[in-house]
Each structure stands twice: as C-alpha cells, then as structure tokens.
Amino acid sequence: MASEGAPPLGGVLETGLYVEDLPRARGFYEGVLGLQPMFVDDRLAAYPAGPGSVLLLFQRGTTETPARLPGGVIPPHDGSGHLHYAFAVAAEHLEAWTARLAEKGIAIESRVDWPRGARSLYFRDPDGNLVELATPGLWKNY
C-alpha cells in the first residue's frame, strides 16, 4: 500500500544477490531450483523468478564500478552478508519441493507453519543466503 501522494508500485521486479563463485551459484539455482537463465555473462546471471520477477546473481566485486551501456549507466552497487529472500510456491507443491531438496542433498534448515495457514521451508544456497519457499497465506497480500 502506497503512502498518501506516492504513485503506486507494481511489485519487486529484481532481487540481486552477490555470489563468490558465479558458476557454482548457477549450478545451484539451475540444478536444484530448476531456473533457466535469461541472460548470462562473466558478471551476472538473470533468471525468471515468477511472473514479472527476476533473480539476479552478480559475481561479487564486479558491480562496484559503473556499468556503461549504450542506453545509459548503471550506478555501482554491492551487498554483503547472508541475505534472505523467498520464492512463492503453491501449497500443493511444497512436499514435492521437500522431496527435491532431499534428492539434491540440500538440508532444510527450518520449517514454519504460519498463523494465516501458510507454510515455509528454509535452506541455504552455496553462499549462505537463506532461501525460503513460502505458500500462500504468509502475508495479507499473499
């Protein structure tokens, strides 16, 4: 919900993570989560992460200087530490995700049953980022 006078937002378009080893991270996101890259170069990999949403994996250290493109400049950015983000999943697919993670040797760190009826699984990517798979009902708007 936008504050009074602010134009509405259409959603989170991109989520960026900074990884130590881009090929290793790609192996996880493609091999475990089944994501298919839309764009890859030495600096980043971009994945569709649901309707209107993109997951960006940046090779750590490659975004600290401006990226000059034909249409303009992307200002420098960076991040550190173990970040958290969540993928939305249908409730009927949560057990299939549990089985897939086990099959791929990915430990589930935690499971949460939320008051509104949602359920979440938490696990780590190779860089220690906390990945969540969450079913509908977690938030008032989801």
Give the residue extent of every domain in the chain: 11-67, 81-142
Architecture in CATH for domain 81-142? Roll (3.10)
**Which of the residues in the chain have pLDDT under 50?**
none
Domains 11-67 and 81-142 share a fold: no
Contacts of 38 (CB under 8 A, 6+ apart): 46, 47, 48, 54
The pLDDT score that the predictor gives to residue 45 is 98
pLDDT tens for residues 28-40?
A: 999 999 999 999 9
DSSP one-letter string for 77-114: ----S--EEEEE--GGGHHHHHHHHHHTTPPP-EEEE-
The pLDDT score that the predictor gives to residue 37 is 98
The pLDDT score that the predictor gives to residue 1 is 56
The pLDDT score that the predictor gives to residue 7 is 83
The pLDDT score that the predictor gives to residue 2 is 56
Q: What is the CATH number of domain 11-67?
A: 3.30.720.120
**DSSP classification of residue 27:** H
